[in-house]
Structure 1
Amino acid sequence: MYLPSFDLQGKTAIVTGAGRGIGRAIAIGFAEAGADVALLARTEKDIKETAVHIEKLGRKAFILPTDVTDRVQVQAAVARTLEAAGKIDILVNNAGMNIRSKALDVTDQEWKTILDTNLTSAFMMSQEVGKIMKEQRTGKIITISSVAGTVALRTGVVYAATKAALIQMTKTLAFEWGKNNVQVNAIGPWYFKTPLTEKLLADESYLHDILSVTPLNRIGELPDIVGPAVFLASNASNYVTGQTLFVDGGMTINGF
């Protein structure tokens, strides 16, 4: 059965951190659902590779090397997308990173770097794209948070603080922009197989600990997050806003 409410035909999306991992999977998934996609990341080579997959699907890919922690570069990337596509229907704030330091070992520079990459960039992107969506009176903003935003983990205090802040930012933006028909939601993943987690998951003891608190007893595969992202980007979620959808194999009902 075909469900047209999940169709992204004619839509234009911006995905940050689109060069690898979750960002690449979502960008390609959007293209499979019919959207054209503006690809933002620092490394041009990575987003060019993502663009190849999108163009093979017959969709447009806009390659925009961007440091999303820099306001001027963010504004330029949003302006170029708007100029090329005429509108921006979807924004995915996916860019993120971590430095795994114990609380007493966190340096001022580590704090600033993680905050800028995970939190400030998402706010700046939302702010710049939100102006356009409010004028259009339509739009979908999806921010990639984490289970670390609601459950205490070994990932570190700074990462956890940013991911919790993203959940609250999502609620507040949804509250402010709902009257303009802009839906703002988040996704909270648990462990997924990506280049960033490969080394961690190779540790059998660590993997055992992860699986022991995951009711579905497996690590997430990238297709597992594409469906929820397409749902939140599509008309199927028009009455959903301010929510964080945990895509975690049930981890947050268990604890770690």
Structure 2
Amino acid sequence: MARVKAGEAANPAPPTVQRIRVRFAKRGRLRFLSHRDVARSVERAVRRAGVPVAHSHGFSPHPRLSWVGAAPTGTASEAEYFEVGLTSPVEPSALVSALDAALPDGIDILDAVVAEAPSLADRIDASRWVVELPGVSVADLSAAVEALLALDTLVVDRVMPSGRRQIDVRAAVASASATAPDSRASHTSAGGDCAILTAVVRQTTPAVRPDDVLGALDVVAGLRPPVPAKATRTAQGLLDDRGELADPLGPPRVTTQV
């Protein structure tokens, strides 16, 4: 076996010549997939589609896929992102078509662009969540949201593998509102109450999830949905001073309030 020279990688792989950022959705029953399950599905799709993906060096090379801000298991999303390194240039539209055809229904590729600075992680610091609450009236949800926003801090407990952690939900919630559902949409509470919570939540460590926000509403107002809520992430991006989220695949922008 040839020895590896100093400064050289073992089993060197072809260099990465292009990086593409991809937006995808996690829908329907596939919202119950874990992040690792989604990652495996994408890795298989990359192989099946014949994408010239770059690999790490060494004796156990891995495809150069990087992920950011994965949605919690059980939540749907219209705004999940990953970046893929390639050994030869590919048109983003061709990558979208190839990957979407190789993935199962429910993991849907929506858009792709050639990566530019800053990094994908530096383009995301908040998420917008839309949570359907069947059996909850808009008036009750509005009162609970007002009570939460009136506070400076509200800490809830979360049981994690490492033990119980305290999370300041109020510090993470940039904005929240309660509305009635769109009359064109179908909800599990057909003919009954169904309030919609829309919340913009800043990234924190650990991340504040939709169920943490619902737990906070329970603390401040005793709001407990009679059936499980359905949460969908509709956007991720940099939160500007108007409360809007910049598209991570778009050009960098800085907005100042007039």
Q: Answer yes or no: same fold by TM over 0.5.
A: no
Structure possessing the higher radius of gyration over alpha carbons: 2
* TM-score, normalised with respect to structure 2: 0.22
* TM-score, normalised with respect to structure 1: 0.22
